[in-house]
Amino acid sequence: MRWLWSRISGHEPADSDEIEPETPAPPAELPPSELSEPALTALRSAVGERNVLAEHAARLGRTGGLAYLDLLRRRLDAPLALPDAVITPADPVQVQEVLEVCRKHDIAVVPFGGGTSVVGGVSALRGDKSAVVALDLVRLDKLVDVDPVSRLAVLQAGMRGPAAERLLAGHGLTLGHVPQSFERATIGGFVATRSAGQASAGYGRFDDMVQGLRVATPAGEWRLGCAPASAAGPDLRQLVCGSEGVLGVITEATVRVRPAPTERHYIGLVLDGWQRGIDAVRALAQKPALADVTRLSDVDETDAGLALSVSLRTRLLRRYLRTRSVSEPCLLVLGWEDTSVRSLSARRSVAMRVLRRFAPVSLGSGAGRAWLRGRFAGPRQRDALIAAGVCVETLETATRWSALPALADSVRCALVSALSTKRARPLVLCHISHAYETGASLYFTVLTPRSPRDAIGQWQRAKRAASDAIAAAGATITHHHAIGTDHRPWLAAELGERGLGVLRAVKQSVDPTGILNPGKLI
């Protein structure tokens, strides 16, 4: 922590108090629920009295997601977008009934899964409606069907990552979908946000895995998908993937599963220089020889990782890298998962052969396993940093390979320029975690001392600068965090007037009165 503080503020903390956690503000006095009695009665009749939660704790638990600004607003006692009640239906049929009640009573509905959105996707905005409820899918947690021959499983939308893996493991199967939000996020959320997991190079993005969907909409239930591939018109499943609760409430997904791996091999390598690292990952992606997890850190992220994670051995490691003439170390983590040693070794051999011309220095499997152990720790580390007075947030994008280095530079410059002050210069770390034949994602982590006077404005300005840089480069405003409220200002540039018009037309068709997740996406 001292290391980080000295890096981002340019000086050692005066004393240890300066990096001690602040005391969070006490919870705000909540406004009363605005649900009318007839609406409450109808909702209770749809899902049962005890599944309409109007008490403060329940409402406070569904006020928003886990973006830095969400956390900050809660700490700062800033106004929160609060649902008037939390509804927990038992199954897809009850979800459909809740939508009918809400349509009739003009109530906005915010579908709620793990609540891990970092773009405002689950903020309880009511738009022009009379009230707003959080539709918490927590009880839709069943494994409905498994077809091991076809490698398909039907999962209800409220099932969280660990539960899905536990239930599938009973059949020797896995989803293999492990975003950083894995521990809390749900199947429905994975679909609704086009989630990409850390091992998506091997297991595919979630939108690749979806073969069928069951969706509740105010216009009636919608079932999609009946084959692994089809030419029966446009692929409407890809319209529901990424629809962020705006076009319907996903209640079930039929997803491709795989035999659970019995072998795992993770290694860390160091490449000399960011451009060489990009070239190496591109070579893997285009061979194709990506490991299931393929993740390249830039020089600053590698440096921070060395300082923060393997501190005991850091000095020795730096010396070792110098003897190997590595002046700008970039960490490349590769992880393979397989059902046989032979198959894993064969894939690893192909990858290592591709990498040979990039002169990698192996840190062995210890560095790989270290990454694996800490893979879900990011959010918890962030909580500690926020408590210590740090402005810390992430953002991400993707573009084609030929445009990637320039995009990384311009986003980094935008962030540094927006956040630098006389006393402090932000730390901007970057990695590539998702690579494709034609391009890759860029994921930035930003750390800087929190502005004592305008903490919210500080990040809003930085986010705007970075987003403008992304849009100016013609890259996507988000590779896997979705649009929510936060990316809406940049969606028009990406989809154009025609694309937005099409989305609005689809919205009008399935949700004519606009009750579904107002203020998100479109």
Looking only at residues 135 through 154 of this chain, which bind its own copies when binding is defined by CB under 8 A? 147, 149-152
Assign 3-class secondary structure to 480-510.
CCCCCCCCHHHHHHHHHHHHHHHHHHHHHHH
Instruction: Give the number of C-alpha atoms closer than 13 A to the C-alpha of residue 283, restricted to the C-beta side.
Output: 15
**Angle (deg, nearest 10), helices 455-472 and 68-76:** 160
Measured from the CB atom, is 138 or 350 closer to its own copies?
A: 350
Using alpha carbons, select from 430, 426, 437 the residue that is nearest to residue 407. Answer: 430
Residue 419 φ then ψ, to 5°: -105, -10
In the complex, what is the shortest distance from the CB of residue 338 to its own copies, in angstroms, rounded to a whole number? 11
The correct pick among 223, 315, 319, 322 for binding its own copies (CB under 8 A) is 223
- Residues 6 or more apart from 323 whose CB is under 8 A from it? none
Give, as ranges, the residues between 350 and 379 that touch its own copies (CB under 8 A): 350
Across 67-142, the runs of DSSP E, i.e. the strands, are: 85-87, 107-112, 131-136
Which of 98-106, 107-115, 187-195, 366-374 is the region at the interface with its own copies (rule: CB under 8 A)?
A: 187-195
- Does 102 bind its own copies (CB under 8 A)? Our answer is no
- Does 181 bind its own copies (CB under 8 A)? Our answer is no
- Does 1 bind its own copies (CB under 8 A)? Our answer is no
What single string gives the DSSP state of each residue in 224-271?
Answer: E--SSS--SSS-THHHHTT-TTSS-EEEEEEEE-EEPPSEEEEEEEEE
Residues in the chain: 522
Query: Contacts with its own copies: how many residues (CB under 8 A)?
Result: 87
Measured from the CB atom, is 47 or 521 closer to its own copies?
A: 521
Measured from the CB atom, is 91 or 207 closer to its own copies?
A: 207
- Residues 6 or more apart from 41 whose CB is under 8 A from it? none
In the complex, what is the shortest distance from the CB of residue 482 to its own copies, in angstroms, rounded to a whole number? 5
Show the binding pattern over residues 437-476: x = contacts its own copies (CB under 8 A), - = does not.
xxxxx--------------------------------xxx
Cα gap 316→330, rounded to integer Å: 17
Q: What is the DSSP-derived secondary structure letter of residue 286?
A: H
Give, as ranges, the residues between 280 and 319 that touch its own copies (CB under 8 A): 282, 286
Cα gap 450→76, rounded to integer Å: 13
The correct pick among 101, 185, 224, 290 for binding its own copies (CB under 8 A) is 224
- Does 229 bind its own copies (CB under 8 A)? Our answer is yes
SS3 25: coil
Cα gap 504→215, rounded to integer Å: 18
Which of 128-136, 188-196, 307-315, 364-372 is the region at the interface with its own copies (rule: CB under 8 A)?
A: 188-196
Give, as ranges, the residues between 396 and 415 that touch its own copies (CB under 8 A): 397-403
Measured from the CB atom, is 85 or 196 closer to its own copies?
A: 196
The correct pick among 103, 126, 177, 479 for binding its own copies (CB under 8 A) is 479
Measured from the CB atom, is 72 or 408 closer to its own copies?
A: 408
The correct pick among 15, 227, 323, 452 for binding its own copies (CB under 8 A) is 227
The correct pick among 135, 247, 395, 430 for binding its own copies (CB under 8 A) is 247
Show the binding pattern over residues 248-277: x = contacts its own copies (CB under 8 A), - = does not.
--------x-x-------------------
- Does 388 bind its own copies (CB under 8 A)? Our answer is no
The correct pick among 10, 21, 31, 501 for binding its own copies (CB under 8 A) is 501
- Does 211 bind its own copies (CB under 8 A)? Our answer is yes
**Angle (deg, nearest 10), helices 299-308 and 311-323:** 140
